[in-house]
């Protein structure tokens, strides 16, 4: 029997995750939930969309799990907030690893989503509420923090540290032993070969910090 789960989210990303879970998991999605102010329609893919404020009345934490299916909005801060709001209500937040992903002796936190054909070497640590996109690679002895989002086809070499709240764009690469500080953003197709301080945005090959243009 599949485990019943409510998805926190009602956008395209939630639709995508619901499809994965339906066709490739031990979970059965029974409903979607978001804050009442963000509900446009009361049904999605034939399932109810319920107010998060009262979700526990219809789907009590003792019987249902919640999975956060929100993307990298506001540097992953929205997903962070949803994660802890669900925990405060007493819900379990399970992780999902696609059957086509290749993982070996890794440590994975709650509500971590590892999508199809990702390859993760041994001795990798992945923090809670982090998303590893389709076809991404994470090398041995690397550590990915909490509330991170690695897009599709991201390549992280060995012994890399990625701190919390980082976003790595599609087809980006991080070289061996590099440290990305908290809240960093790496642009699509970029190659990072040096450490990046907290809250910086970098892009290019090799990646360089992007600076805001000043008014004349």
Structure tokens at 37: 């102010």
Q: Which helix (H) or strand (E) covers residue 137, if one does?
A: strand 137-138
Structure tokens at 165: 């709240």
What's the CATH code, domain 95-205? 2.160.10.10
pTM value is: 0.94
Which residues does 100 contact at the CB level (< 8 Å), separation at least 6? 24, 116, 117
Does position 214 have pLDDT exceeding 50, yes or no? no
Q: Which pLDDT band holds residue 88 (cuts at 50, 70, 90)?
A: very high
Pairing of strands 113-114, 131-132: parallel
Choose among 88, 83, 82: nearest CA to 38.
82
What pLDDT sits at residue 1? 84
Which of 23, 45, 140, 141 is catalytic? The answer is: 140
Q: How far apart are CA 166 and CA 200, in angstroms?
A: 10
Q: Is 192 exposed, middle or buried (0-12, 13-18, 19+ CB in 10 A)?
A: buried
Q: How far apart are CA 28 and CA 24, in angstroms?
A: 10
Distance of CA 213 to the CA centre of its chain: 31
Domain boundaries of the chain, sorted by first residue: 3-88, 95-205
Q: Which residues share a beta bridge with 175? A: none
Contact in structure between 72 and 15 (CB atoms under 8 Å): no
Encode pLDDT of 147-184 as tens digits: 999 999 999 999 999 999 999 999 999 999 999 999 99
Does position 216 have pLDDT exceeding 50, yes or no? no
Encode pLDDT of 1-18 as tens digits: 899 999 999 999 999 999
Structure tokens at 99: 């059957």
Reply yes or no on whether 23 is catalytic: no
What's the CATH code, domain 3-88? 3.40.50.20
Choose among 93, 77, 84, 79: nearest CA to 13.
79
């Amino acid at each position: 029997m599949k485990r019943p789960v409510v998805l926190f989210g009602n956008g395209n990303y939630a639709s995508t995750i619901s499809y994965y879970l339906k066709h490739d998991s031990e979970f059965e999605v029974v409903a979607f939930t978001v804050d009442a102010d963000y509900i446009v329609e009361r049904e999605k893919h034939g399932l109810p969309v319920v107010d998060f404020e009262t979700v526990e009345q219809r789907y009590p934490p003792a019987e249902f799990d919640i999975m956060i299916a929100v993307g990298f909005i506001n540097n992953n801060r929205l997903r962070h907030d949803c994660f802890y709001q669900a925990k405060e209500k007493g819900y379990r937040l399970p992780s999902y690893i696609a059957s086509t992903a290749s993982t070996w002796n890794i440590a994975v936190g709650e509500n971590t989503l590892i999508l199809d054909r990702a390859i993760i070497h041994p001795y990798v640590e992945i923090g809670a509420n982090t998303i590893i996109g389709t076809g991404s690679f994470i090398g041995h002895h690397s550590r990915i923090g909490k509330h991170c989002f690695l897009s599709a086809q991201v390549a992280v070499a060995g012994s890399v540290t990625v701190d919390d709240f980082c976003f790595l764009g599609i087809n980006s690469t991080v070289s061996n032993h590099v440290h990305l500080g908290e809240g960093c953003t790496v642009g699509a197709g970029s190659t990072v070969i040096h450490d990046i301080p907290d809250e910086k945005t970098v892009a290019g090959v090799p990646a360089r910090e992007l600076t805001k243009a000043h008014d004349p």
